[in-house]
Structure 1
């Protein structure tokens, strides 16, 4: 009769166990030195060898001819324990035997001497499932059992076990088995079973198993039943994994803010019956690999991938900023929890992908940190007594982040460099010497820097500001409290915020204001700022109030404490 691979190839001696040398060597020495404790607690994640190690320990303490701390697996005791014929070794599942009566019966059985073996061994699996009364019933026997009794407790959730139980046991923490150790074990099993297994496929299985050798052997068993030769493609299909190409294409679309491409990739994956929860889990792991590749000096020691994948990860990591990677990872981690309970997983995943492709739509803490950083710089300027709106050089000195992380904050002025100003001045002077006439730009400056009695106020300026708010929040923030007058083909905008004078120099911002005016008035006008105060004059209002007013123009929540 066929037996599953994880049962057939379960370790029978300590030396066969993978990735738990710190435990197996200690137990072997304890057996050889005859210094065994009366109670052991094995804890760790699933598939790491807790129950297997308990059975090996139960055999070796009763073995008629142990060898170097390992059971011989040949004597009648070892064979009887393997077959379940030796009643002196009892294994119970605490999940289904968690009552007080179950534990009371177990404790009463400890009063009888072993019938065949040297010791009566009680293996209690998933011991954290015992009720509070059951733990209390076990406590006295566990503290002072007879010399011929050995308790072995196994659990995946050690934090649920009372401290009174923990203090009476020797605790061993089983680690997740390294991916390379799992891959090596899979190659050995495949060779013995005459299964043709690719090394990359074994590595992929070990990565999917997430430290569980039992899960890895089960997946190998399933893959071997579907194909004569187990390849990476076979493993991906059986495990429901995404191809690496899809992951790199999705990350590229997110980096390029290509929402359309990302949604088409998502549609392709959905049509191939890709599970949305698996997709998010794969993306979380993919962006973790990107972050580690970008941050660590030796990323190959921290992630499991082929050399070709590592080269792709390095290329992808170079295109992302640290802030964007952290923001994307945080969004994906939160989405994984919420997606599990969503009745419309595809729609939720599509909305998530749209947020990732459009940073302005992200609401995570890391996304808001970029805005808060700029606000903190402005607060420093206010506390130092600097002109909040006009000190461009000081703001530039405080701006230590890259431009990408401050694009969608309140404003990001780009002042002219001193070299450009020096070059511009001689050219204008030369023009004046030749023609004796002022340039058109200087005429506009004369118009905007002095009020004109013929200019008429724009009554619908509030509506224009509403249109600007829909287009650009930084631009709207610089126009809070402003007014506008019309003269000829000029829209003269009066504002105390010097940030607008710098923003309007950019063609996109000037076009946004002009389009908003045209949409409300039907007239195509050129926006020109008019200063209502010079930089030499002092503020007639508290700069902090101006700062607060501009914060309220954004989506950032503001709380003022007296």
Structure 2
């Protein structure tokens, strides 16, 4: 009969237990010196070795010929405990034997001396599942136990165990098994089994196991059933992490503010019987991966993804702000907490996606920060208000001459062409006949700040518009055009690095013509009044 890998390769001695030296060393020393406690509490996440160490400890304390604190595996007691024929070691599943009567029966049996071993050992698995009455019944015998009885409690939720029980046990906290230890064990198993496993596949299994050796071996068993040559692709298919394109499509809908696309995706996946709560969890993990990539350099050790998906996540993380990612995580987390409280899970998830696609509907601080980030990005690129949001302007009015709030001064000056250029003919395309804000101008200014402080100081409040092969730069600084002369080569090179294009640069101060007109008028009146004017 076939035996599952996690049962076949269960450790037989403390030496074989992975990533728990702080526990195994302590237990070995206690057995060597004979300082054995009457009650132990093993706690930790699943698959870390709690039940395994309980059985090894039961063998070690009863072994007739222990070897440096380890069981010999050859004496009558070791063999009997291993095959379950000795009744002095009792394993109890507290999930199904959690009543007062079960513990009272255990308490009555404990008073009898062991039949063939030195100690009667009770291993209570999932101890947190015991009822309050059962804990109270267990408390008295743990407080004053017979000298031949040892209790070993194993639990994944130690916070549910009463403090009165905790204070009577030696507590050992099991750590998650290190990924490198899991990989080494998987490769060791491969050498003895009839299948092959690549190093990359073993590393992916170790990350998916999340510190649990049993999970890793169960997944390996599943991969073996799929193919005897186990690669990253085989692991991805067996674990169900392949073909997750729909997560990227949801992200595109969220960033593109397209709720219609998001609802269409929900409808498509719902028709395929996709569990929406599981889908919400996958989206949370998707944005968690983006958050980790943005915040730590060691993200490859943490993020669970195949290499191709990881490359796409890296690209997306570089395009987003951390505040945007955190807002998405917050909305999704709030939604999944309400899933068990609502009758219509589809409606709850649809509301969640509409909130993500329409941040203006969400009044939370994270949503407000996300909208502020969007406005800042528009301002850096020279766009304060999108063109489609500008109210209807008179058709005969030329492009606005300046953004400075000085209407009286503007009326006396001719409209400068450079502020809103309208060339007579630059081509057949409508796009070539209309100036378009340069999207990368904010990044260009940031690059200038690093390479030329003086040039950045001149252009820091400027805006740039592209029109065909021309780039119009305008600034409220009336003398900036002259100040930029001699530095256009550096400016052209930086613009080319960011846009990949060579532009003809045109520069104009927003008030330059108005200022010259006012000066000329004063000089003309002085001459008419008979005042000597000397022009240099």
The residue number in structure 1 matching 2:404 is 421
CA contact (8 A) 2:232 2:306 kept: no
The residue number in structure 1 matching 2:79 is 79
The residue number in structure 1 matching 2:414 is 431
- Alpha-carbon distance in 2 for matches of 1:268, 1:196: 38
Q: Does 1:174 align with 2:174?
A: yes
The residue number in structure 2 matching 1:329 is 329
The residue number in structure 2 matching 1:403 is 375
CA contact (8 A) 1:128 1:155 kept: yes
The residue number in structure 2 matching 1:140 is 140
Matches within 5 A, 1:301-340: 301-305=301-305, 309-340=309-340
Q: Which runs of 5+ in 1 are unaligned?
A: 375-400, 433-562
Q: Between 325-334 and 70-79, report the one with greater CA deviation.
A: 70-79
The residue number in structure 2 matching 1:221 is 221
What's the offset of the Cα at 1:85?
Answer: 0.8
- Alpha-carbon distance in 2 for matches of 1:222, 1:127: 30
- DSSP-derived class of the 1:122 partner: strand
- Alpha-carbon distance in 1 for matches of 2:278, 2:193: 30
What's the offset of the Cα at 1:57?
Answer: 0.8
- Alpha-carbon distance in 2 for matches of 1:355, 1:264: 15
CA contact (8 A) 2:327 2:370 kept: no
The residue number in structure 2 matching 1:103 is 103
CA contact (8 A) 1:255 1:320 kept: no
Measured on the aligned residues, the alpha-carbon RMSD in Å equals 3.4
Question: C-alpha offsets along residues 38-62 of structure 1, whole Å, 9 cap, x if unaligned?
Answer: 1100112222221111011111111
The residue number in structure 2 matching 1:281 is 281
- DSSP-derived class of the 2:253 partner: helix
- Alpha-carbon distance in 2 for matches of 1:426, 1:124: 89
What's the offset of the Cα at 1:364?
Answer: 4.9
CA contact (8 A) 1:50 1:174 kept: yes
CA contact (8 A) 1:11 1:52 kept: yes
Question: C-alpha offsets along residues 99-152 of structure 1, whole Å, 9 cap, x if unaligned?
Answer: 333222222223322222221111111222223232222222212323322110
The residue number in structure 1 matching 2:299 is 299
TM-score, normalized by length of structure 2? 0.65
- Alpha-carbon distance in 2 for matches of 1:97, 1:232: 42
The residue number in structure 2 matching 1:539 is none
What's the offset of the Cα at 1:220?
Answer: 2.4
What's the offset of the Cα at 1:299?
Answer: 2.6
Q: Which runs of 5+ in 2 are unaligned?
A: 387-401, 416-536
Question: C-alpha offsets along residues 5-49 of structure 1, whole Å, 9 cap, x if unaligned?
Answer: 221121111222223232222222222233221110011222222
Question: C-alpha offsets along residues 49-77 of structure 1, whole Å, 9 cap, x if unaligned?
Answer: 21111011111111223333322223221
TM-score, normalized by length of structure 1? 0.62
* Gap change, CA 1:100 and 1:350, over 3 Å in 2: closer
CA contact (8 A) 2:323 2:369 kept: no
Aligned length: 397
* Gap change, CA 1:265 and 1:413, over 3 Å in 2: closer
- DSSP-derived class of the 1:37 partner: coil
